[in-house]
Structure formats: structure tokens, C-alpha cells
Amino acid sequence: MVVEVVSDDEASRVRDYEDTHHDYAAAGLPEYWIVDPGRRRVIAHVLGTAGYAVAGEDGPADVAPSGICPGFSVPVGPLFASASDSCG
């Protein structure tokens, strides 16, 4: 499993959303997540016979579950908390 954090600039967004998608599929990676701070979303992709399919899209109030690792999940909200929010 890979977690890809989307960068701010447009060229990096294209790379993070499109280019690495093909690289991961070619490598046979069964699952990867895109963490998009700008959209405050976690998008899970699971590899199938026709390529990747979106397995879920979760926001700050959600818990993102893995599609391939039973019992593994991540609360989404803390991923987008600023350092000042978590450090007081």
C-alpha cells in the first residue's frame, strides 16, 4: 500500500492524480491512497483486472478503511489538522 500526498502546484497535482496511477498499476500495487490536503479528501484506489477503481472517498468526518488490509483504517480529520491545532 502506498499513500500519495498531493502537492499544491498544478503540475504536481497532475502527476499525483494521473501519472503515478499508471506507474503503480504497472508495478502491481494492490492499493494506494491519494491524500489531497486542498480538497481535504482521502481517495482509496484498489487494483482490479481492468486497472484501478476508486474504492472510497472520505472527508474529515470519516474513517478511511483499507480495501485490502482487513481492520486497517485511518481517521481522516487529523490528517488535515494544522500543527498549531495538534500542538496547542
Domain boundaries, the chain: 2-80
According to DSSP, the β-strands at 51-58 and 41-48 are antiparallel
Global confidence as pTM: 0.85
pLDDT per residue, tens digit, the chain (88 aa), is 899 999 888 888 888 888 888 899 999 999 999 999 989 999 999 999 988 999 999 999 999 999 888 999 999 999 998 744 555 5
Predicted pLDDT of residue 22: 87
* CATH 3.90.1570.10 is the classification of domain 2-80: yes
Nearest by Cα to 49 from 28, 32, 70, 33: 28
